[in-house]
Structure 1
């Protein structure tokens, strides 16, 4: 099960730390497809496992400055 950018669930999901909106990240390239929700304010990426967003504070993965720039560029296009 995958999420789509127009999924109504995205409008109500929020970061567990700052309660702000999240961006949907979809990677379809090899080695495997992956989905995540991203908080650009705190630079945290939350995985989506089997269609279920993992939104516990401990599930957030800090991204590097370079990753952040790439993610923001990708979601803007």
Structure 2
């Protein structure tokens, strides 16, 4: 998935229904509000609530920094 993919405009977190941030280098969609990341497998976002992985405080800071650089 690329940052210019029109699908990104309609994708939302399955838990809080808010926008997600694409981290291309990590191949994940990230919700910084809930601190959950969702994998992208073979170009398909895995957006079931059970597929989201919680991240630690340190990982959250790293992912936010990556998103800011993008």
Q: Distance in 2 between matches of 1:44 and 1:59?
A: 9
Encode CA deviations 1:19-68: one digit per residue, 9 max, x unaligned. 000000122xxxxxx41100000000000001110000000000010110
TM-score, normalization by structure 2: 0.93
Q: Distance in 1 between matches of 2:41 and 2:12?
A: 17
Q: Distance in 1 between matches of 2:62 and 2:17?
A: 23
2:58 paired with 1:66: yes
SS of the counterpart of 1:45?
Answer: strand
* Regions of 4+ moved over 6 Å: none
Q: How well do the aligned residues superpose, as a CA RMSD in angstroms?
A: 0.9
Which consecutive residues of structure 1, in runs of 5 or more, have no partner in the other structure? 28-33
TM-score, normalization by structure 1: 0.85
